[in-house]
Amino acid sequence: MNNIATSEIKNKVKRGQIYEKQRTEKGKAKRLRRKELKKEEAENPELREARLRENVPATQENTREFDEAVVADADEEVANEEEEDEFAQYFSGQAPKVLITTTPKAGKQTVNFVKELVSVVPNLEYVKRGSKFALQQIIQFCKNREYTDLVVVSEDHKEPTHVTVIHLPEGPTAHFRLTRIKGGKEILGHARATSHYPELILNQFSTRLGHTVGRMFAALFPQVPEFQGRQVVTFHNQRDFIFFRRHRYVFKNSKRVDLQEIGPRFTLRLRWLQKGLYDPVNGEYEWSYKADLETSRRRVFL
């Protein structure tokens, strides 16, 4: 009788009762075990440390597939190459001068988004897009007027969906999918922006491609931030999603910073990167998204 497995018990009510009993007992045992563990670890914190050190859950980040393109911390070759790339001029002190425009006949939401961006990036100039000129002509105009970057926001169904960033005068051109836009005012408890140049945080741009993209974002902002504004703009790359945030911070003490979001917030995802200036026909693609590339979730490109 005692040897009968619970699942074999024919009486449904009885079976349920026994299951319930087993469940509570299991929970009780677990709670007891945890309590004891806690006690032990309170006495001897090394145990806790050891446990935590050993018990590391596998995440997509720490099980990431090996990628040759990941740049080591002190990679001289990359550093040398970066000294000579298209952004070298910016990093040697050239002041950024950025123009932003949209696709022709932009809707209200798109224009609002552009205005938010204008408040974020200093020296960003918005020019309304007419239908007269093609993008390649506009690039030429910008080059003649010595702009360092051109940003184009494209829309679909009157909503901004893509952002193209073109570094001038020699490229590269990056095209991003734009999602989850939240304007500053939509954010609960948002702070107000000031016109100070913000600080920049570029997080986790690890590969060669990531470096290029990160440098591209950096090149939009003035090199020397105005720290008294206590504004920080973040481009955080996680699993190829680039999260944009802007905060005001305050150092409470030597261990604590408080953040208040200013907004806007949005997410970018790289669709392609072209080597030179934007050229849809003959352009040389350094990288472009293809479904075939997505062999695993643990494969990350930026």
Q: How far is the CB of 299 from other proteins (least distance, A)?
A: 13
Contact between 252 and other proteins per CB under 8 A:
yes
Contact between 188 and other proteins per CB under 8 A:
no
Interface map 87-126 toward other proteins (x if CB under 8 A): ----------------x-----------------------
User: Which segment (15-23, 48-56, 89-97, 185-193) binds other proteins by CB under 8 A?
Assistant: 48-56
Q: Are 97 and 144 in contact (CB under 8 A)?
A: no
Strands 98-102, 173-182: pairing is unpaired
Query: How far does Cα 294 stand from its chain's mean position?
Result: 18
> Could you please report the per-residue DSSP string of 176-188?
EEEEEEE-GGGST
Tokens of 85: 């790339």
Instruction: Single out the residue of 1, 13, 56, 74 in contact with other proteins (rule: CB under 8 A).
Output: 56
Q: How far is the CB of 280 from other proteins (least distance, A)?
A: 7
Contact between 290 and other proteins per CB under 8 A:
no
Terminal CA-to-CA distance of the chain, rounded, Å? 62
Contact between 288 and other proteins per CB under 8 A:
no
Contact between 299 and other proteins per CB under 8 A:
no
Which ranges in the chain belong to alpha helices (H)?
Answer: 12-43, 45-54, 76-83, 88-91, 108-120, 135-144, 208-218
Instruction: Single out the residue of 129, 208, 215, 230 in contact with other proteins (rule: CB under 8 A).
Output: 230
Q: How far is the CB of 247 from other proteins (least distance, A)?
A: 6
Contact between 186 and other proteins per CB under 8 A:
no
Using the minimum distance from each CB to other proteins, give the nearer residue, 151 or 178: 178
Q: How far is the CB of 37 from other proteins (least distance, A)?
A: 11
Phi, psi of 71 (to 5 degrees): -90, 125
Instruction: Single out the residue of 2, 11, 92, 253 in contact with other proteins (rule: CB under 8 A).
Output: 253
Question: In 3D, which of 277, 272, 221 has the Cα closest to residue 244?
Answer: 221
Contact between 47 and other proteins per CB under 8 A:
no
Long-range CB contacts for residues 89-93, cutoff 8 Å, separation at least 24: 89/148, 90/148, 90/215, 90/218, 90/219, 90/223, 91/215, 91/218, 91/219, 91/223, 93/223
Phi, psi of 173 (to 5 degrees): -120, 130
Phi, psi of 7 (to 5 degrees): -70, -15
Instruction: Single out the residue of 6, 17, 136, 296 in contact with other proteins (rule: CB under 8 A).
Output: 136
Q: Are 302 and 237 in contact (CB under 8 A)?
A: yes
User: Which segment (9-17, 109-117, 209-217, 253-261) binds other proteins by CB under 8 A?
Assistant: 253-261
User: Which segment (118-126, 144-152, 166-174, 240-248) binds other proteins by CB under 8 A?
Assistant: 240-248
Interface map 150-169 toward other proteins (x if CB under 8 A): ------x-------------
Tokens of 264: 């806007």
Phi, psi of 191 (to 5 degrees): -95, 170
Q: Which residues bind other proteins (CB under 8 A)?
A: 35, 38-39, 42-46, 48-49, 52-53, 55-57, 59-64, 103, 134-136, 156, 177, 179-180, 201, 203-204, 227-230, 232, 234, 236, 238-241, 243, 245, 247, 249-259, 267, 269, 280, 291, 297
